[in-house]
């Protein structure tokens, strides 16, 4: 599969000849890419990069801001959470070890990765009221809004003049 159509080849009865010295290199890249994509697991065959980028959701409610982060496989004691200037910072690391042993066969694989995300909050919050819970690989942080940051409903007057 070629990502880019190139027209720098000539066809002599099924045989192709490169016109450009870069053509051979492009063909090799195409071959390697095709092998990678056509592997049984596709892009999942990439080696573990050592870096994580957890998914984070921020929801603003009337009285509070809720931040949820997906951290599957991360131990709670490996998570660092801080709040400064209406930005919550989440960092930590994941360590994963897999051992397999059967008869004379033994295999041990270890992978680890670190993460750090700073998430700006939509309004001013009270850092003293922060409550964090980690359950089933999901970190949920609840932060109460400052009194001035709370949503207030505004009544709308009709523009009609009494008549």
pLDDT at position 102, please? Answer: 85
- Give me the CATH topology for the region 56-147: Immunoglobulin-like (2.60.40)
pLDDT at position 39, please? Answer: 47
Phi, psi of 162 (to 5 degrees): -65, 140
Query: Where does the pLDDT of residue 31 fall: very low under 50, low under 70, confident under 90, or very high at 90 and above?
Result: confident
Helix/strand number for the chain, H first, E second = 1, 9
pLDDT at position 113, please? Answer: 83
Query: Where does the pLDDT of residue 48 fall: very low under 50, low under 70, confident under 90, or very high at 90 and above?
Result: very low
Domain extent listing, the chain: 9-45, 56-147
pLDDT at position 64, please? Answer: 93
pLDDT digits (tens, 9 = 90+) for 103-152: 888 888 877 788 899 999 999 998 888 999 999 999 999 999 987 776 66
The sheet with strand 131-135 has its strands ordered as 56-60, 64-70, 138-144, 131-135
Among 2-11, 69-78, 123-132, 141-150, the least confident range: 2-11
Question: Which of 14-18, 19-23, 58-62 is predicted most confidently?
Answer: 58-62
pLDDT at position 69, please? Answer: 94
pLDDT at position 34, please? Answer: 65
Query: Where does the pLDDT of residue 59 fall: very low under 50, low under 70, confident under 90, or very high at 90 and above?
Result: very high
* CB-based contacts of 31, cutoff 8 Å, min separation 6: none
Query: Mean pLDDT throughout 61-76?
Result: 91
Tokens, residue 68: 């949820």
């Amino acid at each position: 599969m070629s990502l880019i159509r190139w027209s720098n080849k000539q066809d002599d009865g099924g045989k192709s000849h490169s016109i450009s010295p870069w053509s051979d290199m492009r063909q090799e890249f195409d071959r390697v890419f095709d092998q990678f994509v056509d592997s049984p697991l596709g892009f999942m065959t990439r080696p573990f990069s050592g870096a994580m980028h957890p998914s984070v959701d921020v929801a603003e409610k009337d009285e509070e801001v809720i931040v949820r982060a997906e951290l599957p496989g991360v131990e709670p004691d490996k998570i660092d959470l801080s709040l400064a200037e209406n930005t919550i910072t989440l960092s930590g690391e994941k360590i994963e070890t897999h051992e397999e042993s059967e008869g004379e066969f033994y295999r041990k694989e270890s992978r680890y990765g670190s993460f750090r995300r700073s998430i700006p909050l939509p309004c001013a919050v009270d850092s003293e009221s922060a409550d964090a819970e980690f359950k089933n690989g999901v970190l949920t942080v609840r932060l109460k809004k400052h009194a001035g940051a709370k949503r207030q409903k505004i009544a709308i007057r009709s523009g009609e003049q009494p008549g």
